[in-house]
């Protein structure tokens, strides 16, 4: 019997699309996969162990090798800068990172402030623009920051744009397009190459098929 493959799955909005991809690739996932509070789900039939993690933590589990593989948004990859390989763009959970703020406003000239859940990405972006800004780390409801005067700008995820519109904010710049990626621990990739290559091939087939039917 071949080794078990441990896969870190992001709980939350990516989960369902990621599970659907795996099923479309022919992997049999039990019903408990869709409706359970368990954090570890063993699928013996496929020789998979799934661990269900916070999306931002997925690359951490993979870097440390407690998961061989993981599924993570490109936003998380850019922010976390973990020592993992990106194997495949799964083309799911599409969105983008953008700079937004109140309409007709400029960065404060003396003490510009940017609120975000992505401090590294935001700092790198403004550095490249030649702006020295103070980054204020928030964990959610980022759109509040410019409205209540905590910051001049935010760097946040935009998907439909509804949250910006409903809070009277506008997008100033699009930073980077985001989709979810299949990532791997470098040592696992060497040691379990056959199983991982099979998984990548099957997922790639589905991803390509989905692109054609879109």
Ligand X SMILES: Nc1ncnc2c1ncn2[C@@H]1O[C@H](COP(=O)(O)OP(=O)(O)OP(=O)(O)O)[C@@H](O)[C@H]1O
Binding residues for ligand X (CB under 6 A)? 12-14, 54-56, 73, 75-76, 93, 95, 140, 157, 159, 178, 180
Helix axes 193-213, 13-24, angle to 10 degrees: 100
Of 88, 102, 36, nearest to 77 by C-alpha is: 88
Single out the residue of 160, 211, 212, 214 in contact with ligand PRP (rule: CB under 6 A). Answer: 160
Count of residues engaged in binding ligand PRP, rule: CB under 6 A: 12
**148 binds ligand PRP, rule: CB under 6 A:** no
Q: In 3-state terms, what secondary structure has residue 116?
A: strand
Whole-number Cα distances in Å, 118 to 155, 175, 187: 7, 12, 28
Alpha carbon 67 to chain centroid distance?
A: 16
Nearer CB in complex with ligand PRP: 12/209? 12
**158 binds ligand PRP, rule: CB under 6 A:** yes
Shortest distance, position 28 Cβ to ligand X, whole Å: 25
Single out the residue of 156, 181, 182, 196 in contact with ligand PRP (rule: CB under 6 A). Answer: 156
CB of 190 closer than 8 Å to CB of 3: no
Binding site for ligand PRP (CB under 6 A): 140-143, 156-163
């Amino acid at each position: 019997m071949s080794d078990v493959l441990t896969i870190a799955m992001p709980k939350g909005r990516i989960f369902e699309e990621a599970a659907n991809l795996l099923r479309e690739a022919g992997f049999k996932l039990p019903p408990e996969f869709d409706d359970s509070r368990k954090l570890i789900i063993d699928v013996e039939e496929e020789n998979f162990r799934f661990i269900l993690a916070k999306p931002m933590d997925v690359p951490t589990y993979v870097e440390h090798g407690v998961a061989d593989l993981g599924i993570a948004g490109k936003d998380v990859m850019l922010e976390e800068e973990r020592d993992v390989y990106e194997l495949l763009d799964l083309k799911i959970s599409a969105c983008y990172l953008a700079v937004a703020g109140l309409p007709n406003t400029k960065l404060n000239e003396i003490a510009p402030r940017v609120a975000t859940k992505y401090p590294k990405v935001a700092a790198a972006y403004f550095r490249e623009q030649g702006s020295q800004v103070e980054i204020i780390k928030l964990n959610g409801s980022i759109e509040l920051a410019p409205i209540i005067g905590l910051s001049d700008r935010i760097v946040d995820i935009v998907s439909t744009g509804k949250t910006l519109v409903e809070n009277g904010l506008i997008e100033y710049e699009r930073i980077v397009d985001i989709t979810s990626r299949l990532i791997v621990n470098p040592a696992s990739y060497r040691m379990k190459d056959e199983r991982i290559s099979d998984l990548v091939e099957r997922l790639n087939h589905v991803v390509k098929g989905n692109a054609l039917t879109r």
